[in-house]
């Protein structure tokens, strides 16, 4: 996360890489919630 | 969008012609439009279901439908309105506005955005198809409490899979919003300079990310209980049905704020525009929303005071719930302080925003009443609860969606709506929403239970009034549909200027109306006069303090 990223197009490769990394992290967190919750209940 | 044809030659990736434009599009404006149309269709379907309910409740006895079908209608009405109406409408508004407000060219993950939308028609296709199955649609309420929900017929796996799909759509949307806001803001657009609508969505997206997996887990356990021999919630196998209620409401209460936080953002955007003043207490608005989001995780059991909890737990959940009134009060105070000594005008978006402030507050007060554990024993599962959450969701969330569409549609289409029709739409909506839901407080306090197709005769008068109100409110929405379709979409209305509203500030007002198919391919330079946040005031003071 940057306070002033300065690049605003998702088609810019540098921006795209940064976006995908953060998206995978967030998606991983959501998936971890689901799995951890299920395992805890089981 | 004919303007796109004349767009800069360097940007040759304009919209495709025909239906494929809408299926393949990764453009945030196209997908925003799709989300909004989808939600309007769902509002119409869910609205028809509510009319079945209100027709049946027009008088005591069974008139039109059997009790089984009535229960299907209450269940499906809630699922369609929450997951198909309100949530996609807010995602549609986020799609349209967030990139333009933070100054980037699109959402961070455009293809994921396309996927997230196109999951939804399949999810609701599955859900609505259950109406035509043997045994009918799910009928155990949107809360899907076991063991009742496990008696659902063929519709059961369709319900579960539909919810999984809605959850995937919501999570992809939430990820897209968070990544866009954190990674793609224009230079100088620091977090505390972002419009409140963007802040409200950032917080909402985190809520979605945290609780949608919980809902997915809970319904998956229902599925395995029914088909794979597990006993998560089956008492006969050693499971605990009340555990489902805890899990569901751990999702369900943050979900309530998912349905209202973007509304706070919308109202915080509209009121300063028509009061022609900066928003009062910008920073405190942000902190209030964050506080509400945090508190939403520790109040879930106020939905289930009557299941038999330890007294200490009841006290904790009661007081924690009441704490939410503090940040909510901060917000209402700030909206009023923003209007104080402002040069107010009352165009239709402002009327709906003001209607929100008044009527949502009524829903908030009845929520405080319900938070009092000993009192809740009287109100629980009564029509008072129905009145409470409909005040929060209809003149709350739905009014904010209507206000947002009136406010931003000139920017989207380049044409103004008809103000007189807008005013008629507001006043009739405001009157008949109260005619519909206010009497339900009295019916509930007098003891009328919710989710019943028949009732004792002493509740008749309030139900007659409520049903009349519901039918008129439904019909009045066609005035809105006519106004939007004819004047804005079919472009019969006056052409809109770039700024549209004299008092509007923000990057979205610096681009032409209608907004070009691609905006901010290059990072915009943020003029401080367009900043909504408190830091803009500081800047203004600095500028004013300088000698000419």
Shortest Cα–Cα distance, B108 to chain A (Å): 5
For residue B505 the two structure tokens come to 């500030």
Q: Judged by CB atoms within 8 Å, which residues 281-320 of B form the interface with A?
A: none
- Count other C-beta atoms under 10 Å from residue B112's C-beta: 20
Based on the residue annotation, tell me whether B302 is a catalytic residue of this protein.
yes
Which residues are CB-neighbours of B436 under 8 A, at least 6 positions away? B54, B390, B466, B469, B470, B473
Shortest CA gap A32–chain B (Å): 9
The list of chain B residues with pLDDT below 70 reads 1-13, 533-548
Q: What is the pLDDT of residue A8?
A: 64
Q: How many CB atoms lie within 10 A of CB B96?
A: 26
Longest dimension (CA), chain A: 46
Cα–Cα dist B293/B297, whole Å: 7
Helices (H) and strands (E) in chain A, counts: 1, 0
Cα–Cα–Cα angle for B124, B129, B135, nearest 5°? 130
Looking at residue B8, its pLDDT comes to 43
Tokens of B88: 């996609």
pLDDT at A31: 94
Closest CA to B128 of B139, B119, B137, B120: B137
Residue B13 confidence (pLDDT): 62
| Residues of A with Cβ-Cβ distance to B210 under 8 angstroms | 33
A1 — pLDDT class (breaks 50, 70, 90) = very low
List, in order, residues 6 or more apart from B272 with CB less than 8 Å away.
B278, B279, B338, B503, B505, B532
**pLDDT at residue B1, as a whole number:** 36
CA–CA distance, B296 with B5 (Å, rounded to integer): 47
Q: What is the pLDDT of residue B5?
A: 40
| Assigned token pair, B224 | 């395995």
pLDDT of amino acid B536 = 52
A34 touches chain B (CB under 8 A): yes
What are the φ and ψ backbone dihedral angles of B495, each rounded to 5 degrees?
A: -65, 145
pTM of the predicted protein model: 0.93
Among B175, B220, B520, beta carbon nearest to A23 = B175
pLDDT band, residue A3 (cuts 50/70/90): very low
Predicted pLDDT of residue B546: 39
Q: Say what the pLDDT of residue B375 is.
A: 95
Distance CA B419, CA B410 (A): 12
Q: Can you say how many angstroms the Cα of residue B188 is from the centroid of all Cα atoms in its chain?
A: 30
Comparing CA positions, the residue from B530, B537, B512, B511 lying closest to residue B188 is B530
Angle at CA of residue B212, ends B211 and B213, nearest 5°: 90
The pLDDT of residue A39: 86
């Amino acid at each position: 996360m940057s306070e002033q990223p300065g690049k605003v197009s998702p088609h810019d490769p540098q921006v795209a890489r940064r976006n995908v990394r953060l998206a995978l992290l967030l998606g991983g967190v959501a998936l971890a919630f689901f799995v951890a919750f299920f395992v805890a209940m089981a | 969008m004919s303007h796109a044809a004349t767009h800069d030659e360097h940007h040759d990736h304009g919209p495709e012609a025909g239906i494929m434009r809408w299926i393949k599009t990764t453009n945030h404006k196209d997908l925003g439009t799709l989300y909004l149309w989808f939600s309007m269709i769902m509002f119409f379907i869910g609205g028809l279901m509510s009319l079945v309910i209100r027709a049946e409740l027009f008088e005591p006895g069974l008139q039109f439908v059997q009790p089984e079908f009535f229960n299907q209608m209450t269940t499906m009405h809630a699922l369609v309105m929450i997951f198909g109406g309100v949530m996609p409408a807010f995602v549609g508004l986020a799609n349209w506005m967030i990139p333009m407000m933070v100054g980037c060219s699109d959402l961070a993950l455009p293809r994921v955005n396309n996927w997230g939308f196109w999951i939804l028609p399949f999810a609701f296709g599955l859900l609505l198809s259950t109406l035509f199955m043997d045994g009918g649609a799910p009928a155990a309420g949107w809360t899907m409490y076991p063991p009742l929900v496990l008696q659902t017929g063929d519709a059961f796996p369709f319900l579960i899979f539909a919810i999984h799909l809605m959850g995937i759509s919501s999570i992809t949307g939430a990820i897209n919003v968070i990544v866009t806001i954190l990674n793609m803001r224009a230079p100088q657009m620091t977090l505390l300079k972002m419009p409140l609508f963007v802040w409200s969505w950032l917080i909402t997206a985190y809520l979605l990310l945290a609780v949608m997996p919980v809902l997915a887990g809970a319904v998956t356990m229902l599925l395995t209980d029914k088909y794979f021999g597990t006993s998560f919630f089956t008492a006969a196998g050693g499971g605990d049905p009340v555990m489902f209620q805890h899990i569901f409401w751990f999702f369900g209460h943050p979900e309530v704020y998912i349905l209202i936080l973007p509304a706070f953002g919308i109202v915080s955007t509209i009121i300063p525009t028509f009061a022609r003043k900066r928003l009062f207490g910008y920073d405190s608005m942000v902190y209030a929303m964050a506080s509400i989001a945090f508190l939403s995780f520790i109040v879930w059991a106020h939905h289930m005071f009557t299941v038999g909890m330890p007294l200490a737990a009841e006290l904790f959940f009661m007081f924690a719930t009441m704490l939410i009134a503090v940040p909510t009060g901060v917000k209402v105070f700030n909206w009023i302080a923003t209007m104080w000594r402002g040069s107010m005008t009352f165009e239709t978006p402002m009327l709906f925003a003001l209607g929100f402030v008044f009527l949502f507050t009524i829903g908030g007060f009845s929520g405080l009443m319900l938070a009092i554990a000993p009192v809740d024993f009287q109100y629980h599962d009564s029509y008072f609860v129905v009145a409470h959450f409909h005040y929060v969701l209809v003149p709350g969330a739905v009014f904010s969606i209507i206000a947002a569409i009136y406010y931003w549609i000139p920017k989207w289409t380049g044409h103004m709506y008809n103000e007189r029709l807008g005013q008629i739409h507001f006043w009739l909506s405001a009157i008949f929403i109260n005619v519909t839901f206010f009497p339900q407080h009295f019916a509930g306090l007098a003891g009328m239970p919710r989710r019943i197709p028949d009732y004792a005769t002493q509740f008749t008068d309030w139900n007659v009034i409520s049903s009349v109100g519901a039918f008129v409110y439904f019909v009045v929405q066609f005035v809105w549909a006519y106004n939007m379709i004819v004047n804005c979409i079919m472009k019969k209305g006056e052409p809109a200027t770039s700024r549209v509203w004299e008092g509007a500030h923000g990057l979205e007002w610096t681009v032409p109306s209608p907004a070009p198919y691609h905006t901010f391919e290059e990072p915009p330079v943020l003029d401080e006069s367009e900043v909504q946040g408190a830091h803009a005031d500081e800047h203004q003071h600095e500028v004013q303090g300088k000698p000419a």
